[in-house]
Amino acid sequence: MSRKLLLANDHVEGIRRLDVYRKHGGYNALEKALKTMTPEQIVEEVKASGLRGRGGAGFPTGMKWSFLAKPEGVARYLVCNADESEPGTFKDRYLMERIPHALIEGMIASSFALGARTSYIYIRGEYFYVANILEEAIAEAYEAGLLGKNILNSGFDHDCYVQVGAGAYICGEETALLESLEGKRGNPRIKPPFPAIAGLYGCPTVVNNVETIAAVVPIIQMTGAEYAKIGVGKSTGTKLISASGHINKPGVYEIELGVPVEEFIYSDAYCGGIRNGKQLKAVVAGGSSVPILPAHLILKTASGEPRLMTYESLSDGGFATGTMLGSGGFIVMDEDTSIVKNLWNFSRFYHHESCGQCSPCREGTGWMEKILHNIVEGHGTPEDVELLWDIQGKIEGKTICPLGDAAAWPVASAIRHFKDEFMQYVTRPQSIKDVKHYYRVHQLAEA
């Protein structure tokens, strides 16, 4: 089993409460930070740890922090991105629901490092019950002098608030999130300026994912150098993986980066293999946006090396034969899955969630959804497949925010790796009536 830094105590009874959390070492890192370290030292530790953004982009956190502008007399903000809307991803929900203080402690310590007097946790509206859990934890922290004025007699003042969204995938994009937090529609901003210069209310702002902020706690506790020893190469530390789909043991797993993909899928310590004794067909390894890979390419790289759960190994081969670690939303599909129908499902999602600002995304996502629906219904032509390829290429890289790329990549990769299946749909539509494409719920109940 992997070493656990974030979820070591996730099954301890009452760990949601402050007293139990503290009994298991909670807030020791904050105490260490406030009493023995300068803000600059914490930033250095985070840099040394090699921690990379856990929301999907994988950008080095320490570097992001060091970009934060610090003009005199201007407020700075830390904003936690708890919007978690990437299909296949549910790790942040698990962490916040089980151990809310892990996030709160990370928020306070990170805010100290960044010199932020106020922080906001922007959580998706559907997680309303989780927001209430966080509110309770925050109230406990105020009560214990861990939030508010002069925290632990350090002279550091900090207020942390929870802000609830209202149902929009796009608000996981950091500038759309800031717009939403300012009470507006979630339309991403044009960059530059980046939030580090002009973010919330035009002030310097760092936006970090829940898991990233929570990881700052063990980094302070064990030092960045020790944290960097875990993992492989530039993929340091542990990562929460949300495993779902046709597997025996769906759930959230904390892994040391570097676990072989094959072990992750088949070991009883993780996914426990494919349901009902079926064969593996494909995996979407990092949330619905990242390229889908067929079984042989997810288990081994094109050069025959075992594929590892790291940023580098998963992207080995570029988009031709590789994918991305992304948010760690690991969706497994068995031999009965229709890749074409699944792609239609994904495309419908991106069409629904496009904010409508940029025409390539607004028009392209709807167009792709319609073409795919046509194909799925048996009315497609080979030219439709060519057209899909053409459209996705005209969205990628041509929009203000990465939602356009996120909508294009699944289409490109599905056609790249499963062209035969598309051709079956468009040349022999009568044969697709027999395509089984998802489990029937009553079969599941029997299984």
**Which of positions 49-88 make contact with another protein (CB under 8 A)?**
75, 84-88
Q: What is the distance between the alpha carbons of residues 356 and 157, in angstroms, rounded to a whole number?
A: 40
Closest to another protein by CB, 220 or 355: 355
Asked if residues 104 and 137 have their Cβ atoms less than 8 Å apart, the reply is yes
Position 251 contacts another protein (CB under 8 A): yes
Q: How far is the CB of 334 from another protein (least distance, A)?
A: 9
Q: Cβ neighbours of residue 197 under 8 Å, at least 6 residues apart?
A: 67, 69, 204
Q: How far is the CB of 234 from another protein (least distance, A)?
A: 28
Contact segment (CB under 8 A) with another protein among 26-34, 127-135, 385-393, 413-421 equals 127-135
Contact status: 447 vs another protein (CB under 8 A):
no
Binding to another protein, residues 311-340 (CB under 8 A): 329, 331, 333, 337
Q: Are 102 and 92 in contact (CB under 8 A)?
A: no
Peptide bond just before 402 cis, omega within 30 deg: no
Q: What does the alpha-carbon distance between residue 229 and residue 234 come to, in Å, rounded to a whole number?
A: 10
Q: How far is the CB of 198 from another protein (least distance, A)?
A: 14
Q: At what angle do helices 359-376 and 382-395 cross, to 10 degrees?
A: 160
136 contributes a contact to another protein by CB under 8 A: yes
Residue 238: CB minimum distance to another protein, A = 18
Sign of CA dihedral 95, 97, 101, 106: positive
- Show the CA angle centred on residue 320, arms to residues 314 and 324, nearest 5°: 25
| CA dist., res. 447 & res. 439, Å (int) | 11
User: Residue 67 or residue 128: which is nearer to another protein going by CB?
Assistant: 128
**What is the total count of residues that contact another protein (CB under 8 A)?**
73
In the region spanning residues 177 to 196, those forming contacts with another protein, defined by CB under 8 A, are: 180-186
Give the footprint of another protein on residues 351-370 (CB under 8 A). 352-353, 355
Q: Closer CB to another protein, residue 64 or residue 417?
A: 417
Backbone angles phi, psi at 3, to 5 degrees: -70, 140
Among 6, 252, 261, 297, binds another protein (CB under 8 A): 252
Site for another protein in 158-177 (CB under 8 A): 159, 161-169
Using the minimum distance from each CB to another protein, give the nearer residue, 157 or 386.
157
